[in-house]
Chain A
């Protein structure tokens, strides 16, 4: 095979996403003789090639930092980037493929499931399964056949809902299963999953991964999984390919190479991270900064549903407090309701800041009182993607940078530049639009925004979701620095190792209640899960009961 680089001219925006159109990316995909064997070569910024071999009936994982080119690769393979926008060939069973649309690749049994699910919320499960592939003759849908087929597919993925249920009535985990059912309806032979478990809780993730294993065992399905969750990858993959800066660094084979998270991380960042969570030094914990008492929040959608149920907690200066819990435990709802009642109805309770009881009726009240909240949904609720780093950094703090309502452009540029340097935001300049940044850099812009607001209490909601190991480490360092400055940091995270790694104290939340408080010493994954399980048991034993339970000791 001969490989040439066509990449010339302009450099890629640092940390930006790669798209082949007009950028002359170079990709070659070979699929070997008798077996599925894909050999993908793609020229990124470097001159090495990416090599991936997928054997029939195996599960192949792709790992790498954001912007490494994993998704681009998969988009080429599935025909989203059509034949001709890249150079090279896709060989499938020894035959070259010219995929111009997704349909072409789907005809061959290659189906991709994206990170953002492509379901229509108001349509039913069966309508979604057969979307674009309707069970129709001469354009008229045969609903009976549709229902029968849908039920068969749903059984295969373990969905017990009625096929008429609207998709928006189901949780994300089940929606992910519908995506798989949809793929099965297209007679999938090679399933590509782009971060399938990123928005799932542990329980749903487990189910999904088991399903993939089952489909492989029963039907001989091949799968390529892109994931940041290394524990899952090591569990289910047969082979793991590490991609870095558009180069394939190495491929690890189960049973042959060392198959551990540490080993993969080493490949991903190019060095060994001895400590994934940097230690905090010189960080004395001071007096109580924020105390919340009997905090209750009702759901804005469902009347009488308590989403936050009599929560009590406190944070001290210089302390990092973690809030652990499963997805849907009410952690985000708690944080948002504290942040100027940005979520929920009938909010009740007391907030005491520095010994004084305060009322926060809107976000600007919260900011004035030194509380900041960095959302978990940085694209949807955090950044203004069409605006630049500069504008995003200063949005809540324009008052500081203006006089008489007129913004001082010089000072604004100065501030944005300073924070870009301070937080190591990788971008060509402060005029870069935030939609062109990678997840890690977007998160850093969010942090820059709120650090500049100079709060006393910083609530970080899933601060490292969907970002790569290197950027995670940097964010942990930033958190440490904030704590050292005497700020109180509250970290909400679904990743237990992260909560354990960075918190001084951990609250465990389940179904709207705080069900445990663990000091750094007594905190462990087992103890946190025990708190959650015990509270579930108690709830079934004495329904409606329960405030904060102490456990763990």
Chain B
């Protein structure tokens, strides 16, 4: 490691040559932000190909709304992959939750809040059911969730009796289809979306500066002040520009807000909490974690309960977005969510991966999907290209690791 340290409080590196530090800065950037850079390159490329349609405000909103449920699933999937497991049932769980919501609201005319609560509870219950078999009976997660995939798809068909239920009331569709301006409170505030952008920028800058200070304090290589300034400027620019861009259409989609909150919460849990550390440790070496006094069974159980909850949230969002509950909803969503995690740098053997990575991975696929659709490329080619992206992303990651 030859990170530069211009303030030079701790052990001065022996390689002050600026050429070298630039090199290592670049290689660190490529190593740590490879997928993020790839996302930007892909977006720019498709932006040019589509004559500016891809990144137009209206399309950005659409992109977010279209991919929100996959991203929510990816947030739940990442901990599963971190513990070295996998969940193949999420597409079916999403469908069954949608079916329950449809039955309760459309057929039984029950109120929306009650339905949402029931649906979330069902998600938790399904997660607990699968977690029970995986953690306590020790059936491999692949098998339990493969069974779950069939069980819950069957349940969906039974509940819906083969029919598609619609329409949902507007209040149900709110989360998935509306914008910040549609909330009366926010509609009263001009530029409410921009205000959120300012908030994000402020928090982002604070966090970056804080972590830089901490690193200096403990003598960890922190990079130069210039890098810090560039980083802060980037955060401010991106968050302000992105929110400004969104205001050019209808403002911030509510689902983006929800997604943002989930990302923050789950990143926090993964990075800062004991539970998060236990999840990573469990994926790194289960026996060692167990012999360190961690109740590994409960950790794994919780991870699957959480996956059930996330699948339920995604189920609500998906049915609200499509305004219907269909028996075939969410088919192969599990594969998209898993692919998002892997593209985002998660390791198939567990212990490695980040929430942000999974989100970036999901966006890479979402942007590709959307861009190719705009270009009129058929679903057949889209599938193949997505497959190649998954393969190349993971191959690049492994190559990168081995080089290190």
CA distance A323 to B344 in the complex (A): 49
A553 at the interface (CB under 8 A from B): no
What is the chain B residue whose CB lies nearest that of A10? B2
The answer to whether A384 and B274 have CB atoms under 8 Å apart is no
The answer to whether B277 and A386 have CB atoms under 8 Å apart is no
What is the chain A residue whose CB lies nearest that of B215? A413
Contacts of A11 in B (CB 8 A): 14
The answer to whether A384 and B273 have CB atoms under 8 Å apart is no
A501 at the interface (CB under 8 A from B): no
The answer to whether B291 and A384 have CB atoms under 8 Å apart is no
CA distance A409 to B214 in the complex (A): 9
Chain B residues numbered 269-290 whose CB sits less than 8 Å from any CB in chain A: 272-275, 277-278, 280-281, 284-285, 287-290
The answer to whether A384 and B295 have CB atoms under 8 Å apart is no
B352 at the interface (CB under 8 A from A): yes
Interface size band for A? 35 or more
A174 at the interface (CB under 8 A from B): no
Query: How far apart are A19's CB and chain B's nearest CB, in angstroms?
Result: 11
Query: How far apart are B25's CB and chain A's nearest CB, in angstroms?
Result: 15
A391 at the interface (CB under 8 A from B): yes
Contacts of B41 in A (CB 8 A): none
What is the chain B residue whose CB lies nearest that of A367? B293
Partner of B292, one of A386, A405, A410, A449: A449
The answer to whether A381 and B287 have CB atoms under 8 Å apart is yes
A112 at the interface (CB under 8 A from B): no
The answer to whether A380 and B295 have CB atoms under 8 Å apart is no
CB within 8 Å for A417 and B352 given contacts A395-B289, A398-B277: no
Chain A residues numbered 355-409 whose CB sits less than 8 Å from any CB in chain B: 362-364, 366-367, 373, 375, 380-387, 391, 395-396, 398-399, 402, 405-407, 409
CA distance A439 to B141 in the complex (A): 34
The answer to whether A339 and B291 have CB atoms under 8 Å apart is yes
The answer to whether B292 and A406 have CB atoms under 8 Å apart is no
**Which among B14, B289, B292, B352 has the highest number of chain A CB atoms within 10 Å?**
B292
Query: How far apart are A255's CB and chain B's nearest CB, in angstroms?
Result: 47
The answer to whether B273 and A407 have CB atoms under 8 Å apart is yes
Contacts of B315 in A (CB 8 A): none
Query: How many contacts between A and B, using CB within 8 angstroms?
Result: 91
B381 at the interface (CB under 8 A from A): no
The answer to whether B291 and A373 have CB atoms under 8 Å apart is yes
CB within 8 Å for A387 and B275 given contacts A362-B295, A409-B214: no
Contacts of A381 in B (CB 8 A): 285, 287-288, 291
A22 at the interface (CB under 8 A from B): yes
Contacts of B278 in A (CB 8 A): 398
Please report the total number of B residues contacting A with Cβ < 8 Å.
30
Contacts of A391 in B (CB 8 A): 277, 280-281
The answer to whether B295 and A410 have CB atoms under 8 Å apart is no
A429 at the interface (CB under 8 A from B): yes
CA distance A20 to B309 in the complex (A): 48
Contacts of B351 in A (CB 8 A): 384, 386-387
Contact code string A230-248 (vs B, CB < 8 Å = 1, else 0) = 0000000000000000000
CA distance A386 to B282 in the complex (A): 11
The answer to whether B289 and A410 have CB atoms under 8 Å apart is no
CB within 8 Å for A382 and B288 given contacts A428-B1, A431-B220: yes
CA distance A382 to B290 in the complex (A): 10
A260 at the interface (CB under 8 A from B): no
B263 at the interface (CB under 8 A from A): no
CB within 8 Å for A399 and B274 given contacts A382-B291, A428-B1: yes
Contacts of B280 in A (CB 8 A): 384, 387, 391
B399 at the interface (CB under 8 A from A): no
Contact code string B250-272 (vs A, CB < 8 Å = 1, else 0) = 00000000000000000000001
What is the chain A residue whose CB lies nearest that of B10? A429
CA distance A363 to B294 in the complex (A): 8
The answer to whether B288 and A383 have CB atoms under 8 Å apart is yes
Contacts of B290 in A (CB 8 A): 342, 363
CA distance A364 to B292 in the complex (A): 8
Chain A residues numbered 102-153 whose CB sits less than 8 Å from any CB in chain B: none
Query: How far apart are B331's CB and chain A's nearest CB, in angstroms?
Result: 34
The 9 A-B pairs at the shortest CB distance, nearest first, are namely: A384-B284, A396-B292, A364-B293, A363-B293, A395-B292, A384-B285, A398-B274, A367-B293, A381-B287
Known: A382-B291, A417-B218. 9 other contacts (CB 8 A): A22-B403, A362-B293, A367-B293, A391-B277, A409-B214, A410-B214, A410-B217, A413-B218, A431-B220
